Amino acid sequence: MINLTNTILYAKGWYKKSDNIIEDLKKILELDGYTPSNKNDIYSILLGRIEKHTANWATTREILSGIHPKNCWKVGYDFGNEKDYDMCMAFIYYAISNLRFVDNREWTPQMPKVTKYQKADHVTINSLYTHFIKNKVCLVS
């Protein structure tokens, strides 16, 4: 079971995303009980949590292929040229991209903490009620 409830909600689009994924994830991971202060902390947290879950999530080969400089564009990591490539950033983008697809057997969906971090613009109070209170599951990926 992945213990990144709010991080998964962020990946699935329930929380607002800014242009700075590191600043977003510092705040989101705090909601999950972690205290990251920089990119390396975020990388370590995601790697540690996902490493325990890779049997169901992805093989090492798939992860390495996903963070390869030639494939990073697929997960939203555009680093410009090869000298600017950052493996930690590539993995962070890869992890967030793949956490979108975690199904309800692999985590416990909970109401987003919209009083502590802004909900995404497309999310309404009605949609929160429908998905998290009325249905008691998160059906949106």
Q: Could you count the other beta carbons within 10 Å of the beta carbon of residue 133?
A: 9
pLDDT of 80: 81
Return mean pLDDT, the chain: 86
- Domain assignment of residue 140, yes or no: no
Dihedral class, residue 120 (left if φ above 0, else alpha if ψ from -120 to 50, else beta): beta
pLDDT tops 80 at residue 111: yes
- Rounded CA-CA distance 6/1 in Å is 14
- Domain assignment of residue 63, yes or no: yes
Beta bridge partners of 15: 119
Q: Could you count the other beta carbons within 10 Å of the beta carbon of residue 86?
A: 15
More confident site: 66 or 21: 21
Domain that holds residue 119: 5-134
- Domain assignment of residue 30, yes or no: yes
Report the predicted TM-score, pTM, of the whole model to 2 decimal places.
0.85
pLDDT tops 70 at residue 54: no
pLDDT digits (tens, 9 = 90+) for 25-40: 999 999 999 999 999 9
- Domain assignment of residue 139, yes or no: no
Identify the band that residue 139 occupies on the pLDDT scale cut at 50, 70 and 90: very low
For range 57-78, the mean pLDDT? 86
- Domain assignment of residue 76, yes or no: yes
Identify the band that residue 58 occupies on the pLDDT scale cut at 50, 70 and 90: low
Domain count, the chain: 1
Provide φ and ψ at 119, rounded to 5°.
-75, 160
